Each structure stands twice: as C-alpha cells, then as structure tokens.
Chains A and B, each alone.
Chain A
C-alpha cells in the first residue's frame, strides 16, 4: 500500500476513534454533536482521500463526488439537531446564550415557526 494512502487512512481512523470517544466523554448534547457530527465527516474525507490515492483517478473522482455530497448535506442535519436540542432543553443550561432571549420574545409574541 502506498505510504501516503496508509497515512491518510490511518489519520482518518484515528479521527473516527476520537469522535467516538468524544461522543461518550462530552457532557452536553451540543458538545456531542461537535464530536459525532463534525469530526466524523473529516474522518470520512481523510479515509476517502487515502482510498483515492490508492485506487487511482477514477476511484478518486468517485470519492470526490461522495465527499461533496456529504459536505453539502451533513451541515443541514447537524444544524437541525442543534436547533431541536435548543428548542427542547430548559433555559439556563449555558452561561452565555444569546439566542434564548430572542426565542422567548418570539414565543411571547405568539410567533411560531
């Protein structure tokens, strides 16, 4: 196996393991999303880059399409998870929360979205 490909795949695997550990170690849902929803696509991109180096141009192009699809769709899902958690957890969990007063004001005015 090409050393560059091995290094990339190894780096991706380490990132994926760290993301898994972070999922268990972090305490709030938000922090867990950072570990699970953000570090794991980076892990995928690294492994895909390694695989692309190993299997040549046609494979690399397929990996690029898969990576682009992941990068474009995943943030939407992660963002919705963040928003859902923010709307369903009790206020005051974070020291600084500049969204809560805005949402409370909207709620008082009876605006539902």
Chain B
C-alpha cells in the first residue's frame, strides 16, 4: 500500500471533480466510480508519476495572485485599447528568476503568459531567465518584483528535496 500523500489526495480530488463535471452530476455512482478510477490511475504509472510534495497554502496563494493579476491587467489593457492616443511603449526585458526546477519555470511561464500586458517570448532554463514582452516599459521594476514573488510562491508550493538549480530536471 502506498503512502497517502497530499499530492495524491490533490490528484484524486481533482480527477474525481473532472469526472463528475464531465458526467454532469455528482451522484453517488459517479463519485464512487470516480474515486475508484482516480485511485487506480494515480496508483499506477498510467499518468506521469509525480514526485515531490505539494503544499496547498502557497499554491492557493499563487492562484490568488494570478487571479488578481488577471483582473488588474485586463483592466489596464482595456484602458490602453480605449485610450485615443497610443501610449504603449513596448519592450522585451530579461528577468532572472530563482526557481529550483524546470517544472517551476513552466508554471511561471503559464502564469505570466495568461495575464494580459505581459508575456514570455522565450525562456532559458539553463540560467533561469525569462525574456518577457511588456506593453509598458516603465512598469519594468514592478513586473520584475511580481515575477519573483510568483517564483518564490511556486517553489514554496512545490518543494523539491534536492534543488538542482534551474537546469535541474523536473
């Protein structure tokens, strides 16, 4: 019997949620079959076996930060769209992010790219550098600080036992 970890519980809960959502109702039969399937899938190597631990609180804070970012940056891009004169000042900047693995870098890229106003053009996993496109070059310092906050939360939420630097394998 494998140890019940937070990671496994989170995996099973999300799989059961998706299963019931796709069936359209959370009946007892759906819940039971979902739990059985999720336990089977997460117990075998059908899905990619996950390693490392999950800390729920930092991950939730990560999600909350991305969600607020989504709202505020959508408002700022909308304001830019309806402004009569074009005041965008685009730039591609390099941001060094202190992440432990490539998985963290991937999470960070998705979080940054999903918010309007900033996007990742390219990433160098060997040095842990993100090349980000900004609509407003003068927000550079704020964006850099924000990305580093996100990186710290991502590393706290998915801790690895042996940090290998950004070049480490996930």
Contacts and interface: CB of A to CB of B under 8 A. Distances in A.
Interface residue tally of chain B, by bracket? 35 or more
A75 B116 contact: no
B110 A97 contact: no
Interface in A15-64: 15, 18-19, 21-22, 25-28, 30-31, 33-35, 38-39, 41-42, 45, 57-58, 61-62, 64
Nearest to B130: A99
A27 B88 CA distance: 10
B77 A35 contact: yes
Nearest to B91: A96
A35 B81 contact: yes
Contacts of B119: 30, 33-34, 38, 78-79, 82
Contacts of A98: 92-94, 131
Contacts of A71: 110, 114
B86 interface: yes
Given A33-B119, A79-B113, A86-B121, A58 B24 contact: yes
3 tightest A-B CB contacts, nearest first: A61-B21, A75-B113, A96-B91
